[in-house]
Amino acid sequence: MQIEENFDIKKYTTYKIGGKVKKVFFPENQSEFVELLNKIDNYIVLGNCSNVLISSNGYNGNIILTTKLNMFEFRGLKVFASCGVKGPLLSQKAAEQGLSGFEFMIGFPGSIGGSIYMNAGAHGQSISDTLVQCCLYDKNAKEVVYKTKQEMNFGYRHSLLQDERYILLHAEFDLQKSPTEEIKALMDRNLEFRKNIQPSLAHPNAGSVFKNPENDSAGRLLDKAGVKAFDLPQAKVWDNHANFIINKGDATSEDILTLMVMMYNAVKKQYTIELTPEILFIGDKTKKEEELWNILCH
């Protein structure tokens, strides 16, 4: 297994932000992953680092990256996928098999593990729609367990994994047969929508900054609150969609958090609605970062 010390995580994140991590592990199969989880105590598991902001201060601990856990298999309508498989790849492979249900993932940079953790969704589809069961590592019992879709406590941008007791190893899905041209047409529409509304990773970003409040859109509220004008020297709110922050080149995690608080305050002042971050912030926070994050996690 590849193990890196004092590892510069920045290049692995879609934000292109993050300091040095004490130790980073790259397990290559499930048994290696489970053995590692049994052996070390304090760790953070990350997939494609697409929905996270890692402190520029770094992290004096262990991070396990699942990027090499990328096995998947089709058996009829069923799909089995390891936690590190990238969503767009699985979306394309399903389309080639004439299987529908993963079209929404074509524009997501995240891994299957991250998608299930967040119950990712778009365009009326979400990862929980097709999920049958998850193979998980139980941190308390230090053993491998299985949970059905019903036991995964799925909600809007929520799953059982957020309780931090379980880690996804692999998942089983049940898709539907559909004409390949219809699947590809839907994927093309999803990509076109994403291209018009959301920044590409040529502009480093971590996707939507805030979750949608119930029966409303965070992007709409932010837009009406005038946050598209928010522009710092190294980071700014995206011109085409107010719920995205882009790294202009050399932004720090503090820059991103500063903008997030400005956006949060603007909506709170105008609508008395307190938005909740969709982005996860991890690492060794500075005193200033701690203050900013505490405002956002009211």
Task: Name which of 67, 19, 23, 13 is nearest 43 in CA terms.
Answer: 23
Catalytic residue among 103, 208, 253, 254: 208
157 a catalytic residue:
yes
Q: Give the dihedral sign, CA 87/91/97/98.
A: positive
208 a catalytic residue:
yes
Give the separation between CA 252 and CA 153, rounded to whole angstroms. Answer: 34
178 a catalytic residue:
no
Total residues found in the chain within this entry: 298
Catalytic residue among 56, 157, 253, 254: 157
DSSP letter at 66? -
Catalytic residue among 4, 32, 274, 278: 278
CA of 248: how far to CAs of 206, 234, 240, in Å?
13, 5, 15
C-alpha distance across the termini of the chain, in Å: 40
Cα-atom radius of gyration of the chain, to the nearest Å? 19
Q: Which residues are known catalytic residues?
A: 157, 208, 278
